[in-house]
Amino acid sequence: MATLSGEPRAAPRRDWRNPSTWHLRTRLVLVAMALLVAICGAVGLVSYASMDLFLTKQLDTQLDQASGRARDFSRPGPGSAEGGRPDPLEARGQRVGTLNARILNETVSSAGFLAEDATRRSLSPDDDHVLLALPPNGVPVDRTLSAGAYRLTAVQAPNGDVVVTGLPLADKQNTLSSLVWTMAVVSAGGLVIIGLAGTALIRRTMKPLEQLSEVATKVSRLPLDAGEVALAVRAPASAAHPGTEVGNVGDALNRMLDNVSNALEARQKSETRVRQFVADASHELRTPLTAIRGYTELMRMTEQFSPDGQKSLARVQSQAERMTTLVEDLLMLARLDEGQPLKLGDVDLTQLAVETVSDEKVMAPDRTWQLELPADPVLVRGDVAQLHQVLANLLSNARKHTAPGTTVITGVTRSADGSAVVTVTDNGSGIAPEFIDRVFARFARADAARKNPAASTAARATPPAGARAGHAAGATDQTPAPPTAEGTSGLGLSIVQSIVKAHGGTVEVTSRPGRTEFALRLPATPPAA
């Protein structure tokens, strides 16, 4: 993402523990998968319960039949074992695994089951208490014996004995286990297939929203804060068709962009008219200002004035020169706003710094001017006249708004990425914190006279001697300005920023009491001329 000024904005961090930060398609897929898991689980439970009920009924039917055969066969007859009581396991039709036992006088007299080889196997004595605990009511129950899990039933025989019959539960349990595994594998495979297909379908369905997001992102990266802006980005027709939820959003986004584009065009036309007016007015003012300065100088040389008249005439000439400087600054800003091409050439910043600082030494010998330069020249491609004005404005700014004795250090270095860095640092009182954010704005001056007409008249009649506002032109704080402080227009730092920006560079300011630094960075490869 980016701000309207084109500055990148850090993307929000996604916390996977917080579902609200997930992608919408991720949440839709997960919700769909959760519903499918719930449906599969419900179907599995119902299927398992139905199959368990069916198998139990089937087993109970078989158990009832086996119990009837055992009960009928256990009637005493000639030649029967144990005093005429035959063994129920010898009854016809009993399948492998069938368990039979006879309980006589609350004692298990015989108990066993048919093994895989159709031979009789005895139960463990530990199983007797399980068999004795069965009520002789013919109701089937599940019990675990030494031979495994069984479905058991106990009935009263005609001779008074209790006959216990059981069928193994292994077949039923194996069938249910197979059902569980089959449903688990089929459900898992179905979830994978449906998850992949659902992801593809949801991604395709969400594509219009992604297109709208891309359009909004492109618009957010456009430099809409200044200059001529061609806002030609629009949502595609496929994502802006009214009638659907996404289409309504896309159509609303396009109508909003149309409104913003019209507003930007109107703003640009208004700014263009204002710039043209300023440029024309400044150009037209140069001639009368030149005439005023010329006639003032002529009067001083040819006419005799009283001391007060001499002072008044000097003030006229001083204000004319000040106004001429203001007009020249306005013309410079107008040319920069129009984007006039640079006259590129090789510029030695170290030599430029030496020359500019030497000029300032002559104008303000009561400051300490220092240079911090590398051993090798620092060359850049740029407009030598404009870069000279940048450095002159920064040094002049430090001279005008610091007290005598202030140390001003000018440094030139080459950074690791090849760009050139020029710094102007002083140990003055610093810039007021509430003013530093607008220090590069045009006409940025903390001038109380602008709010008080009477004070304004007095301020125009006498040289500015107010408090310092820091390095911004005209800013104020509680430190009295030096006697040599000059009135400023508030355009010097704006010109610095515009020239550096035209060279593809940046300028920054940091300030605290006792240290203020302006740092400008020029790229190794400037924009084309």
Per-residue pLDDT 10s for the chain (529 aa) are 444 444 445 555 656 677 777 777 788 888 888 898 999 999 999 999 999 999 999 999 999 988 888 877 766 554 444 445 666 666 777 788 889 888 888 888 888 888 887 788 888 888 888 988 898 888 999 999 988 899 999 998 777 788 899 999 999 999 999 999 999 999 999 889 988 888 888 888 878 888 888 888 888 887 776 666 677 788 888 788 888 888 888 889 888 888 888 888 887 787 777 777 777 777 777 778 888 888 888 888 888 888 888 888 888 888 888 788 777 777 777 777 666 777 888 888 999 999 999 998 988 899 999 999 988 888 888 888 889 989 998 998 888 888 899 999 999 998 888 889 999 999 988 888 888 888 887 776 644 333 333 333 344 444 433 333 333 333 333 333 333 334 556 778 888 888 888 888 899 999 888 889 999 999 876 555 4
Q: Which of 301, 330, 300 is nearest to 312 (CA)?
A: 300
Amino acid at position 425, single letter: T
Contacts 24+ apart (CB under 8 A), 331-338: 331/279, 331/282, 331/283, 332/389, 332/495, 333/278, 333/442, 333/491, 333/494, 333/495, 333/498, 334/275, 334/278, 334/279, 334/282, 335/279, 336/495, 336/498, 336/499, 336/502, 337/275, 337/498, 338/275, 338/279
- Give the burial class of 198: count Cβ atoms within 10 A of its Cβ; 0-12 exposed, 13-18 middle, 19 or more buried: middle
DSSP annotation of 479:
S
What is the CATH superfamily name and number for domain 341-522? Histidine kinase-like ATPase, C-terminal domain (3.30.565.10)
CA distances from 71 to 67, 68, 138, 227, 307 (A): 6, 5, 11, 106, 149
Amino acid at position 90, single letter: E
Sequence spans of domains, the chain = 1-11+18-217, 226-340, 341-522
Q: What is the pLDDT of residue 314?
A: 87
- Give the burial class of 57: count Cβ atoms within 10 A of its Cβ; 0-12 exposed, 13-18 middle, 19 or more buried: exposed
DSSP annotation of 377:
-
Q: What is the pLDDT of residue 475?
A: 36
DSSP annotation of 124:
P
- How far is it, in rounded angstroms, from Cα 137 to Cα 140? 9
CATH number for the domain formed by residue range(s) 226-340: 1.10.287.130
Q: Six-digit token pair at 447?
A: 């001038």
Q: Kindly give the pairing relationship between strand 420-426 and strand 515-522.
A: antiparallel
Q: What is the pLDDT of residue 74?
A: 65
- How far is it, in rounded angstroms, from Cα 140 to Cα 150? 10
CA atoms within 13 Å, Cβ hemisphere of 212: 22
Bridge partners (DSSP) listed for residue 449: none
